[in-house]
């Protein structure tokens, strides 16, 4: 069996997506997501100019060997561009293998470990009242877990607050939008949101919150301690994680569960966080960290330390990543939760898929492979449109972490 073509498809049905399609001499094809929000074309070039030529003629069944060939063989290891390109190849090859085996991917991985995949939705509002109402709408839709983000008094354009009610899309402009951040205003406000949510909805729903890398470790410790009575499912990305040891300080000060990892590329980014049990949930997902092959290594390592998965699932991860992630989540023994931001209708139309939402969970179908395809004719109707994530500055102009 041989790979005869590896094509990269760029499309913007509501937002930009990069998709790799691998074709074989046996007529079976597989697809993988390679989208890197705000830096999409760098992965297109990496795949088109440097990876695709090396794939032609290879046996697509040798997933592990191809992974090692692309990782070790590049000489330059790790990084978001390299690892997303490897992920796209890896997911396309798992798709092909599962189709050849006539099995849904979760079956090939080891079989079903649960009936459905618990997901959390995104509720946000311009102020506390609107956010509380938004959480109520998610509960009414059947969600068992909801992430709550609110506008903060005195801060324009707070992280996580969308323009529409159901959708939140941060990559919103042809050049980065400038936002202003103030930690004091945020810390004075954030605990009151969760106090109000518990008063309104009780303790039967899981509540989550994303700090989006804005705090220092000691500030993160203060926030974690302040929200302890409201029993959050997790606080996410409380502080940047390049220095994994930084989480030791946070951990010493709070029992609020911590989640991190959406920007990690390999097991090396979370090795100390996991081994020292500084975190409770690892948020790395298939497209972020070299595909199913590498994510499985991270999850197995995490399991040894009672760290569970909580994969990133924002709209910049295409339905291809969502499909692959849901098969992974259906199998992985130490599953925690899956993020689920609904894609726009145009996106769903370009990527026909068989997963469905019901009862607070996402359910994969039994289509052989990962169950997601691409309608290339429709994709061609949505040309690439440059879009950047915002940046953040402090009030005096100093650059901060968005």
- Quote the least distance from Cβ 158 to Mg ion, whole Å: 14
Nearer CB in complex with ligand CS2: 108/287: 287
Across 100-116, b (16+ Cβ under 10 Å) vs e yields beebbbbbbbeeeeeeb
Enumerate residues 6+ apart whose C-beta is below 8 A from 275.
305
Q: How far is the CB of 352 from Mg ion (least distance, A)?
A: 27
What's the rounded Cα separation, in Å, for the pair 210 and 217? 15
Nearest approach, Cβ of 164 to ligand CS2 (angstroms)?
15
* Angle (deg, nearest 10), helices 128-140 and 183-201: 40
Instruction: Spell out a b/e string for 6-38, using b for 16 or more CB atoms within 10 Å of the CB, else e.
Output: bebbbbbbbbbbbbbbbbbeeebbbbbbbbbbb
CA gap 262, 265 in Å, rounded: 9
Give the 3-state DSSP-derived string for 239-304, with helices as H, strands as E and coil as C. Answer: CCCCCCCHHHHHHHHCCCCEEECCCCCCHHHCHHHHHCCCCCEECCCCCCCCHHHHHHHHHHHHHH
Residue 269 interacts with which of ligand CS2, Mg ion, none, CB < 5 to 8 Å by class: none
Is 106 a residue of the active site?
Answer: no
**Residue 180 CA to chain centroid, in angstroms?**
25
Q: Which stretch binds Mg ion (CB under 5 A): 158-166, 177-185, 254-262, 344-352?
A: 254-262
339 binding partner (options Mg ion, ligand CS2, none; Cβ < 5 to 8 Å by kind): ligand CS2
* 316 contact choice in Mg ion, ligand CS2, none (CB below 5 to 8 Å, kind-dependent): ligand CS2
* Whether residue 159 lies in the annotated active site: yes
Q: Find, among 51, 50, 43, 55, the residue nearest to 84 by Cα.
A: 43
Select 170 or 217, whichever has its Cβ closest to ligand CS2. 170
- Minimum Å gap between C-beta 60 and Mg ion is 33
Residue numbers at the binding site for ligand CS2 (CB under 6 A): 37, 170, 210, 212, 262, 312, 314, 316, 339, 389
Nearer to ligand CS2, 308 or 312 (CB): 312
Nearer residue to Mg ion within complex by CB, 33 or 210: 210
Site string (196-215) toward Mg ion, x via CB under 5 A:
--------------x-----
- Indicate which of ligand CS2, Mg ion, none lies near residue 370 (CB less than 5 to 8 Å, by partner kind): none
Strands 17-24 and 281-282, by their bridges, are unpaired
Token pair of 35, please?
A: 């989208």
Residue 19 CB, nearest approach to ligand CS2 (Å): 17
For Mg ion, the closer of residues 224 and 369 by Cβ is 224
Lookup: tokens for 78: 């790790």
Strand, coil or helix: what is 320? helix
- Closer by beta carbon to ligand CS2, 67 or else 328: 328
Binding flag, residue 373, Mg ion (CB under 5 A): no
Nearest-approach distance from CB 338 to ligand CS2, in angstroms = 11
Phi, psi of 298 (to 5 degrees): -65, -45
Size of the site for Mg ion (CB under 5 A): 2
Active-site residue among 212, 230, 312, 353? 212
Rounded to an integer, what distance in angstroms lies between the CA atom of residue 3 and that of residue 222? 54
Q: How far is the CB of 266 from Mg ion (least distance, A)?
A: 19
> Which of these is catalytic: 159, 168, 278, 382?
159
How many angstroms separate the CA atoms of 169 and 181, rounded? 19
- The per-residue DSSP string of 144-165 comes to SEEEEEE-BTTBSS-TT--SSS
Binding-site partner at residue 314 among ligand CS2, Mg ion, none, CB < 5 to 8 Å by type? ligand CS2
Q: Which stretch binds Mg ion (CB under 5 A): 183-191, 257-265, 274-282, 330-338?
A: 257-265
**Which is closer to ligand CS2, CB of 90 or CB of 262?**
262
Active-site residue list: 159, 212
Binding site for Mg ion (CB under 5 A): 210, 262
């Amino acid at each position: 069996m041989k790979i005869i073509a590896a094509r990269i498809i760029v499309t913007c049905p509501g937002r930009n997506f990069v998709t790799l399609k691998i074709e074989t001499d046996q007529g079976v094809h597989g697809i993988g997501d390679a989208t890197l929000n705000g830096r999409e074309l760098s992965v297109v070039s990496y795949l088109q100019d440097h990876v695709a030529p090396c794939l032609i003629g290879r046996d697509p069944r040798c997933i592990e060997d191809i992974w090692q060939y692309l990782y070790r063989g590049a000489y330059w290891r790790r990084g978001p561009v390299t690892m997303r390109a490897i992920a796209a190849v890896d997911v396309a090859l798992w798709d092909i293998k599962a189709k050849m085996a006539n099995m849904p991917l979760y079956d090939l991985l080891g079989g079903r470990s649960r009936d459905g995949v618990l997901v959390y939705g995104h509720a946000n509002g311009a102020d506390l009242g609107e956010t509380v109402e938004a959480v109520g709408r998610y509960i009414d839709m059947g969600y068992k877990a909801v992430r709550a983000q609110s506008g903060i008094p005195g801060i324009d354009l707070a992280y996580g607050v969308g323009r529409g009610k159901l959708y939140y899309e941060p990559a919103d402009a042809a050049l980065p939008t400038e936002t202003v951040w103030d930690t004091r205003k945020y810390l004075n406000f954030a605990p009151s949101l969760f106090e109000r949510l518990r008063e309104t909805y009780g303790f039967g729903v899981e509540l989550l919150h994303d700090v989006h890398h804005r705090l220092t470790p000691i500030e993160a410790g203060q926030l974690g301690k302040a929200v302890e009575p409201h029993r959050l499912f997790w606080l996410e990305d409380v502080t940047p994680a390049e220095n994994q040891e930084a989480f030791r300080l946070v951990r010493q000060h709070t029992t609020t569960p911590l989640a991190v990892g959406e920007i990690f590329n390999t097991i090396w980014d979370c090795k100390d966080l996991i081994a020292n049990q500084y975190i409770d949930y690892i948020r790395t997902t298939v497209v972020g960290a070299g595909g199913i092959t590498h994510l499985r290594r991270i999850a197995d390592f995490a399991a040894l330390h009672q760290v569970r998965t909580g994969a990133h699932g924002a709209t910049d991860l295409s339905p291809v990543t969502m499909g692959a992630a849901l098969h992974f989540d259906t199998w992985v023994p130490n599953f925690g939760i899956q993020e689920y931001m609904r894609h726009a209708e145009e996106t769903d139309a370009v990527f026909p898929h068989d997963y469905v939402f019901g009862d607070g969970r996402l359910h994969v179908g039994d289509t052989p492979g990962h169950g997601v395809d691409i309608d290339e004719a429709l994709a061609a109707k949505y040309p690439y449109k440059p879009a950047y994530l915002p940046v953040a500055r402090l009030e005096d102009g100093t650059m901060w972490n968005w």
